[in-house]
Amino acid sequence: MSRKPVHLAVYDSLADWETGHTTAWLARAGYRVLTVGPAREPVVSIGGLRVRPDLALGELRPEDSALLILPGADLWDTSDDLAPFARTARAFLDAGVPVAAICGATAGLAREGLLDDRAHTSAAPFYLAATGYAGGARYTDADAVTDGDLITAGPTEPVAFAREVFRRLGVFEGEVLDAWYRLFHDSDAAAYAVLHRATAP
């Protein structure tokens, strides 16, 4: 089955650990994962990984994508450099294409007004409140939250973040999704057999 690719935003200071489960298992499920940078020049993650983007943000169109993933980064809180990614998230959501944001990217979406009317989560309520956004009443104290086409999570929940992405894209469902989460979040060895039966070639 032909699928549109998933797009992973990459920028200087991106948090390496937040999207690894998501992108690895999407790739195993047959999705092509393409990286999108501010330009095509290499960026460097918090962990020192050098990434050369597959395309520049200006080349990205919602109709060509299955999902936009926005990882956290120091830059979300120290400058306006990543605001264009939040504006792109708005274009995706307006087009009915899912967006998944974790950690500092949730603050970027808050500043863009995208969390004012959607249930969401983040690192903590006061973190988003500091953006001056109007969505405090929609904040949910949960590991990850999906509201329609928007997925949000805090920095300590990369596994729950991945779970919500898999659910939204239909990669795993039901007991298989539950088993994946129990294995990688809870280290429940009993879940391995369920997941292996469902994903073995």
Query: Residues 139-179: pLDDT tens digits?
Result: 999 999 999 999 999 999 999 999 999 999 999 999 999 99
Which CATH superfamily is 6-170 part of? Answer: Class I glutamine amidotransferase (GATase) domain (3.40.50.880)
Residues forming a β-bridge with 14? 73
180: left (phi over 0), alpha (psi -120 to 50) or beta: alpha
Query: Residues 57-91: pLDDT tens digits?
Result: 999 999 999 999 999 999 999 999 999 999 999 99
Coil/strand/helix, residue 73: strand
Task: Tell me the domain boundaries of the chain.
Answer: 6-170, 173-201
Q: Which of 17-26, 35-44, 112-121, 189-198 is least confident?
A: 189-198
Catalytic residue among 103, 128, 144, 171: 103
pLDDT band at residue 200 using 50, 70 and 90 as cut-offs: confident
Active site residue 103: yes
Is the pLDDT confidence value at 107 over 90?
yes
Other residues' Cβ atoms within 10 Å of the Cβ of residue 19: 26
Position 2 scores a pLDDT of 64
Which pairs from 174-181 meet CB under 8 Å and 24+ separation? 180/25
